[in-house]
Amino acid sequence: MVGSFLIDLGGWLLYVSALIGLVLLLPPQAFEPGTRIFVFALGVLGMWRYSLRAVHFIRSMIFLHWSFPWARRRVRKAGDLGMPPHVYLLVTSFRIDTLTTTKVYQSTFEEAIECGVPTTVVASIVEMGDQRLILALWEYMDPPERVRLKIVRIPGTGKRDALAQGFRAISRDMPEPNAVVAVIDGDTVLEKGVIARTAPFLTTMPSVGALTTNEFCEVAGSYAMSEWHKLRFAQRHLNMCSMALGRRVLTLTGRMSLFRASIVIDPEFIDDVQNDSVEHWRLGRFKFLTGDDKSTWYSLMRMGWDTYYVPDASVRTLETPPDPKFLKASRKLMFRWYGNSLRQNSRALKLGPGKLGWFTYYVLLDQRVLMWTGLLGLAMAIVASIKFSPVYLLTFLLWVGITRLIMSMMLLASGHRIGPAFPVLLYYNQVIGSVMKIFVFFRLDQQSWTRQNTTLDRNLGAFERRFNHWSSWAMTFTATSVFAAIVMCLLSL
């Protein structure tokens, strides 16, 4: 603990020293309001982007300190009447190491025993080894009669099939109308009392169809990879709180989300999860391989349900990076995450503000712009430093360093630990994330799982494959050229 504190302290001192060094390198006129350099560093674009971040932060604080405590008081008043008549815990596992699987199912069985209501654990698995491990753990824990175990064996055809078969197994039980289903990933450890802290919200909020929880992580990787994941979860917490203020949480993460049983046994919902697809004007129709959490969210939005977030209930995810090298692993994960978001973005916008609400509609629209605005400042700084003076780039780097330091301090409000690498990783996410979003945006049909190393095979002919490949590169080149032209025009004003 002391060693970790000293490392963090040293990291923060090094970061602040680097900022002071940049200040000393800059000429005095760089800090004079009204000068070209000062206006360039600040920028209308920057003010717009930071104002949106401020709105998210304010909304998250209102939710955390006013809206959610009020909702929690309602749950407490409901007492035992707030608990559902039956709880289903659906866990999907495939190619996860034995130690992680043991931790996950042990926490699941413990939660089934402790939640105090009849509970059925549904294990949707592929391998016989997992079945033997789960049964051995079940016998060892010796749960009471009100806790049951169902094992669903499927071929290794993907998580979507695993979820669909699990939902069908639950539907054969003909669950009571107010029963709930927790969907849990095979690398997620449930914290004690998570069901008791979340399930009553579906009773006290009749308009909410599903909800998700806070997440913390344990990362089996380098320091950079560990800090990168922790940054992501801290940002996720505040963004979830902001969107939950309007009951429009943008994703129902598969790590742990709670649904009404009446929704997950609906054949239309099951088909949405198993066979979700999109019709693209250039790439044709293709199924979603990944992104089941986006499919469930879209399905609920289309049906008119609200979605919610419970910040004081949490799970712990056991993260295994897809590659030991940080740059390669982070790019692979970004490719999957951003692809999932962009694939559902266009059709979600078609639902309109009537179903989404104006703020959610704007946030989804902003996702399409963000991939370009995230690069605009850096591109202008580089070109200006070549065209005019290197002072422009140094001023921009100082501005980035200060603003990312402030953003990192704001993340303290999330309750997650922040580290000295956060400011650097924030800008890494902005720049590399923007590049990955642009790359994915023109290749939405390209999908892959990072753990299973499986990809989508569309059985296209040779001409279609070549057309998709070269048209994607042509679209990328055209869009990038237009972006470069805009940068040059702005610097000529």
Q: Taking the chain (493 residues) in consecutive chunks of 10 residues, what is each chunk's mean pLDDT?
A: 73 91 79 52 66 92 96 93 95 90 96 95 93 95 94 87 94 93 95 95 96 94 92 95 96 91 95 89 85 91 96 93 92 92 90 93 91 88 85 87 92 89 96 95 83 62 87 95 89 70
| C-alpha to C-alpha distance for 336 and 236, rounded to whole angstroms | 17
CB half-sphere exposure, 184, CA atoms < 13 A: 36
**CA 143 to each of CA 78, 110, 113, 149, 183: distance values in angstroms, whole numbers, following the listed order:** 27, 8, 6, 10, 20
| C-alpha to C-alpha distance for 72 and 8, rounded to whole angstroms | 35
Both tokens assigned to 482: 């237009």
pLDDT for residue 449: 67
**CA 366 to each of CA 35, 48, 85, 345, 438: distance values in angstroms, whole numbers, following the listed order:** 30, 11, 41, 10, 14
The hierarchical CATH code for the domain 67-324 is 3.90.550.10
pLDDT for residue 110: 96
User: What does the domain layout of the chain look like in residue ranges?
Assistant: 1-52+367-491, 67-324
Radius of gyration of the chain (CA): 24
| C-alpha to C-alpha distance for 231 and 217, rounded to whole angstroms | 10
Phi then psi for 110, rounded to 5 degrees?
-60, -40
Residue 119 CB neighbour total at 10 angstroms: 25
pLDDT for residue 41: 45
pLDDT for residue 38: 44
Q: What does the DSSP 8-state code read for residue 67?
A: I
Both tokens assigned to 439: 């790359």
- Encode 215-251: b = buried (16+ Cβ within 10 Å), e = exposed: bbbebebeebbbbbbbbbbbbbbbbbbbbbbbbbbbb
pTM of the model: 0.91
